[in-house]
Amino acid sequence: MIQAIGRRSISAIEAVGRVGQFVADMVRGLRDVGIWARLVVIQMRRIGVDSLPVALFIAAFTGVVLALQASYTFTGAVPLYFVGTLVGKTMMLELGPVLTGLALAGRVGASMAAELGTMKVTEQVDALETLAYDPQSYLVVPRVMAATLMFPVIVAFAIAVGIITGWLTSLALLDLSTPDFIKGLKLFYLFKDVWFGLLKSATFGFTIALVGCIVGLGTRGGAEGVGRSTTRTVVYSAILILVLDAFWAVVLL
């Protein structure tokens, strides 16, 4: 029992050390601007354009549900224009960043882990090194940087769509006018709501890409290994997003 705890503790400490080493290598990889600069743009397009439909789809339905649930909760107790307040605040502070983050952990993180894992097991990463490229500069830096920069953009669109569908739902299904919805939206609005959500989403993007790269490049054992890495990336990313979400709430709110 004690031995098992000891082994697990050592393995956990080793894992932390490996992540630290990986991040240090990534920072060192930033030196080769000539390698990663062009690739960042390609990755930004892949992450941004490819992820937008999923993120907007989720946000659209979240906005609908938020409006309906707010109305259901407020009926008879709170003025209905508070629906706008709840939809706006919730989309900006929490559901926009977190739901998008969780969805993209599956979409972006899994895709990175699968791609890099396949490259690893087919020796493409070794080939890259023999061609005098640092895999950190060529593979990791562009992905992590692109995800960090693009997640806030995707989340901004998601927030906007969520609010719009919340507003449309209020018009169509609730007895709420546009001026009332906007009145509610403005009621407790703070600029901090926006930057808090976007900052949070940037850290989610960084984390998802980093996990995808670490797990992907650590893949062993053929197709089965790639499958394991993909699953592991989604699970680790989802956990870290929720932990980070709580962390930012404690630190910044």
Among 48, 134, 181, 198, indicate the residue that binds another protein (CB under 8 A).
134
The DSSP 8-state label assigned to residue 132 in this structure reads T
Structure tokens at 72: 């259901």
Stretch that binds another protein, among 125-133, 146-154, 157-165, 173-181 (CB under 8 A): 125-133
Of the candidates 231, 229, 235, which has an alpha carbon nearest to the alpha carbon of residue 213? 229
Q: CB-based contacts of 219: which residues, under 8 Å, 6+ apart?
A: 113, 116, 117, 118, 120, 121, 225, 226, 228, 229
Kindly state whether residue 14 participates in binding another protein, applying the rule CB under 8 A.
Answer: no
The C-alpha atoms of residue 72 and residue 197 are separated, in whole angstroms, by: 26
User: Position of tokens 């739901």?
Assistant: 99
Kindly state whether residue 126 participates in binding another protein, applying the rule CB under 8 A.
Answer: yes
Kindly state whether residue 132 participates in binding another protein, applying the rule CB under 8 A.
Answer: yes
The C-alpha atoms of residue 241 and residue 11 are separated, in whole angstroms, by: 23
Kindly state whether residue 23 participates in binding another protein, applying the rule CB under 8 A.
Answer: no
Our CB check for another protein shows the closer of 74 and 133 to be 133
Number of residues binding to another protein, judged by CB under 8 A: 15
In angstroms, what is the minimal distance from the CB of 7 to another protein? 15
Kindly state whether residue 133 participates in binding another protein, applying the rule CB under 8 A.
Answer: yes
- Contact mark string toward another protein, 99..118, x via CB under 8 A: -------------------x
**Touching another protein, residues 154-193 (CB under 8 A):** none
**Touching another protein, residues 40-59 (CB under 8 A):** none
Structure tokens at 71: 């109305």
User: Position of tokens 């989309």?
Assistant: 91
Q: Go through 41-51 and write b for each residue having 16 or more CB atoms within 10 A of its CB, e for each that does not.
A: eebbebbbeeb
Using CB under 8 A, list all residues that contact another protein.
Answer: 28, 118-119, 122-124, 126-134
